[in-house]
Chains A and B, each alone.
Chain A
Amino acid sequence: MLRRALARYPNTAACLGMALGLLILGWIEIVQPGGFDFSDITGGLVTLDTMVRIGILSIVLVGLNLLMGYAGQISLGQAAFYGMGAYASAILTARYSLLGIPVAIAQSWWWPWLAILFGMIAAGGLAYLIGRPILNLRGHYLAMATLGLGIMFYILFRENLGVPGDHITGAFDGITAVPRLRIGGFDLWPISRYYFVVWTVALICLTLALNIVNSRTGRALRAIHGSERASQAAGVDIAHHKVQALVVSAVFASLAGSLYAHFQAAVSPKPFDFAGSLELVVMSAVGGMASIWGAPFGVGVILILKEVLRSGLRQVLRGASGEHEIVFYGVLLVVIMVFMPEGILVWTSAQLKELRGRRAVLPPGLERSP
């Protein structure tokens, strides 16, 4: 019965499984059974801070995978939308006096939530406006246009949105004293509480994305990815669906950016520069672009890898420091892309399937030659 249900609804099952796993991790952190907290069970390699960051970036990645893996539209500037969310939240909650927002409103518990919503609308609106012209471009050209957009936004964040002075975005130093989120009088902080907030949102986004993928829109997107001309001939409104995917990815990125702002409590332009956008693409590629599940997986692999390198590499290679970490990261990226270009998750599951299939179905002598 249970097995059949699992086979029938693999995504639901995986969602539930993931939620359960995360719940247990959070429970361990809070209750600390037997004196163990979260990082102890990972041998001190992974901290709750990293888990929260994985959750936040998973939200961005789910959207990015929809755009890149399903609609086939490359974005090398996704950090722009991520940054928009972060700056929208930070400016509205920490620089409210600048905008003439009364203190009573700005300090109420619902104001930050409204700011998050505002950021999402702004990012979505921008994506809608630029969507049509930009998505007319293909392949490398689209990649480059988004790259340009990403860098432009980074410069706008850095240059106070183009206004002389540094009173809006705080230039390089950024905005500090972003408040934590609350619901009524209930603080969603310390970090162990925020962990639940972030992952709840992440799982909701994941479920949404899975539904989109398996809906009419999802089929249309995959058709576009396969061949734009063929899908157009079949009556798919290409431009409409591509813009939709871009808008969804922008809204997700902005939401994640807002959650990031309230987590970090300080927002500065550095995470939203070109390197930031690139890292998002790298995570997407490592996890597997054409897979919603690849999103949390890719983020997890990269962030945990960095964490392990940070604390582990030193023990293996004496005298190793930040420089070696970067080289290792670069080499690993190349290796993964050369040998498993479909992403670790998809590659692994394909290998597993092949192994199982070979054992069960194929008669001897009929295996595919490696």
Chain B
Amino acid sequence: MSFTALRSPRAWLGPLSVLALIAVVFFLGERMNFGPQQYMQLILDGLRGGTIYALIAMGFVTVFNVTGIINFAQGAFVMLGAMLAVSIYDSSLPLMPAAKLVVAVIGGIAGTTLIGMLLERLTIYPARHSSPLTLIIITVGAYISMQGLALIAWGAKPYVLPAFTTLDIADKTFRIGGVVLKAQSLWIWGTTALVLVGLAYFFERTLTGKALRACAINKRGARLMGISVNRMSLLAFALAAALGAIGGIVVAPTTRPTYDMGLVLGLKGFVAAIIGGLVSSPGAVIGGLLLGILENLAAGVTRSGMKDIYSFIVLILVLLYRPQGILRAGRKPVEAG
């Protein structure tokens, strides 16, 4: 952003509101006697949670870019990834725990990807000419069915996936000047970084990735170039399912996966995607991280029961003032569909 752009009062609104927000956080934190250690901890936690949101948000973005659909079933992929991995790990495979975990992770991702593709073929593909709202409702129906099937398959009880470092329910913990860092957090960040690099390579360097991008930019143009938009839609769902599954699997050791874990994570990932502008993967990552930090800071200095309200206030503010997301310039909302 150049300096001339900062002359208009509207451009100041964003930075000013961010400053005001930080001031409010510090003011409230002061009342609770928070020190630097606490703030560091909150930001670290926020980064971890935000990374998961980012992975989910990238799934939303991929599907939206190629098909123009808000895929409400994205949360179900998160849940399925975690649950499938847990099931494989808990099964009686005659393997070392470490090897078993690798198999579980790969199996969870592969299984979820397959389910994602099946979902696209069975529900989205036959209805590809329907209105966006119809498609939204279809994905809602798909989410409900998948969650119901998960309830039948796994029951309502929570499961355990061991931490990747220790292969045990108790994770290794690092303490740096009072700030607690879990080894699993490093796994989460590492995996996400790898995924980002992989995605960048895929979209920039491979033909399929480029075709996918072409679809996102201009569907008709892509079709004229001989790209099968239908196949790209299938691919987008596969990719989104894999991203969701990865998110679900790496977060599983820090929580206890249940059949209904997808709804909240899906909604948060969705807010992250909107903050990032809904069409950009880097935006989704930054949106996720920002949301995570903001949520944790806000919850830390006020009552946690209102935590979700902050996310959705942010959602509405972003929609009203920067519907194009926080990254891109320009003012007009993109006409969807």
Contact = CB atoms under 8 A, between A and B. Distances in A.
Determine whether A and B are in direct contact in the complex, meaning some CB atoms lie less than 8 angstroms apart. yes
Interface of A: 68, 74, 133-134, 136-141, 143-145, 148-149, 151-152, 155-156, 158-159, 162, 164, 274, 278, 281-282, 285, 289, 323-324, 326-327, 329-334, 337-339, 341
Contacts of A158: 305
Contacts of B303: 159, 164
Contacts of A323: 148, 151-152
Given A155-B306, A341-B131, A333 B151 contact: no
A326 B148 contact: yes
B152 A337 contact: no
Contacts of A274: 263, 267
Interface in B134-155: 134, 136-138, 140-149, 151-152
A138 B315 CA distance: 15
Chief secondary structure at chain B's binding surface: helix
By secondary structure, the A interface counts as: helix
Contact of B319 (A145, A152, A324): A145
B25 interface: no
Interface residues of B, number: 48
B336 A148 contact: no
B316 interface: yes
Contacts of A327: 144-145, 148-149, 152
Contacts of A331: 141, 145
Contacts of A152: 309, 312-313, 316
Given A139-B132, A141-B323, A330-B145, A341 B335 contact: no
B21 interface: no
B169 interface: no
B148 A330 contact: yes
22 contacts: A138-B333, A139-B335, A140-B64, A141-B274, A144-B315, A145-B316, A148-B316, A149-B316, A152-B309, A155-B312, A159-B303, A159-B306, A281-B137, A282-B141, A323-B148, A327-B149, A327-B152, A332-B141, A334-B138, A334-B141, A334-B142, A338-B127
Given A145-B320, A337-B130, A285 B306 contact: no
Which 5 interchain pairs have the tightest Cβ spacing? Answer: A330-B145, A139-B336, A330-B144, A333-B141, A326-B148
B133 interface: yes
A282 B152 CA distance: 23
